[in-house]
Structure 1
Amino acid sequence: MPDEIALLVADVYEAAGALRRLGERTARAEGLTQARWQVLSVASEEALTVPQAARRLGVTRQNVQRVANDLVELGHAAYTANPDHRGSPLLTLTPSGRDALASVTERATEQHRTLFAALPEKDVAAARSLLHRLLAELNRQERAAGEH
């Protein structure tokens, strides 16, 4: 089993890399980067501060700040007053940002349909189930390591 585990981990990394490259191509086709797409997406549900967005994305505040500033400069986002914290404004999408997010999401949905058309739905569901269990175990181990 250890060889299969090592091979599975390698396969997950390879798939993640290929999906990241597909995401970059998808975003670029809509005039975005994948990082801008991710920040637009995370801020689309509700206005967030840059630190909140960074925590949700699992990246540094500095990276999100740079991307958020780019989105504001492009007119896709704006900073608005934060009633809870004067020094940390909220990042909100503009109509242009909502349009850009809708376009890139539509393009990605079509690409995913094409990509997964040859894979049986039950296999996709089984893969998702296994990945969810793996993520739950990784989260459990991270929490346990943090408690010591």
Structure 2
Amino acid sequence: MDDPERTPAGDAFAEFAISVLRLAGPLTVAGDALSKPSGQTSARWQVLAAANHGPMSVADAARALGLARQGVQRIADLLAEEGLIGYEDNPVHQRAKLMVLTGQGSRILHDIKQRQAVWADSFGEELGEERLRQASALIAEAIAILKPTARASGET
């Protein structure tokens, strides 16, 4: 059976989508390398960073990160056991506690951010600010277009 024909624009979008998906792997590996000296992983770093944006529930963090709530809950509970985040009462939802960084969590996140700044500066210089801003805008636009499609199909 032959593959369906696509327009040149459809081919370009398929190539773009595959490239973005392929980028996720190396970014995770780099994130793990940047967070490892602080005893963390990319996933744990993401949850620490979410908690740093102000008190938010695990569900709010999962939505912001585009991850499953259950996975974020598992990581948040581990971070709480280690004293890196705490849970506070949520004035708008009795059962959904709010994650907040502890002092130790804040110090660890700061250390990771310092390593990430050096790394990002290097890649930013190599790839160029304008090109990166254009790519980011294109990705944000694609996400905005795809989100209603994902909701309509039952995805989150």
1:145: how far off? Answer: 5.5
Aligned to 2:83: 75
Aligned to 2:46: 38
Aligned to 1:108: 116
Q: Which 10-residue stretch deviates more, 20-29 or 47-56?
A: 47-56
Aligned to 2:139: 131
TM-score normalised by structure 1 residue count: 0.84
Equivalents in 2 of 1:136, 1:49: separation in Å? 23
1:104: how far off? Answer: 0.8
Letter in 1 for 2:61: A
Q: Measured at CA, do residues 70 and 116 of structure 1 come closer, stay the same or move farther in structure 2, by a change above 3 Å? A: same
1:77: how far off? Answer: 1.0
Gaps of 5+ in 2: 1-7
Equivalents in 2 of 1:61, 1:69: separation in Å? 12
Specify the SS of the correspondent of 2:126: coil
Letter in 2 for 1:98: S
Q: Residue deviations 1:26-74, cap 9 Å, x none?
A: 1112211111111111111221222222222222222122111111121
1:93: how far off? Answer: 0.8
1:110: how far off? Answer: 0.9
CA RMSD, aligned part only?
Answer: 2.1
Q: Residue deviations 1:80-118, cap 9 Å, x none?
A: 233444433222110111111111112111111112222
Q: Measured at CA, do residues 137 and 61 of structure 1 come closer, stay the same or move farther in structure 2, by a change above 3 Å? A: closer
Q: How many equivalent pairs are there? A: 146
Specify the SS of the correspondent of 2:64: helix
Gaps of 5+ in 1: none
Specify the SS of the correspondent of 1:117: helix
1:16: how far off? Answer: 1.9
Identity of aligned residues (%): 34
- Written as runs of structure 1 = structure 2, the 5 A alignment for 1:28-67 is 28-67=36-75
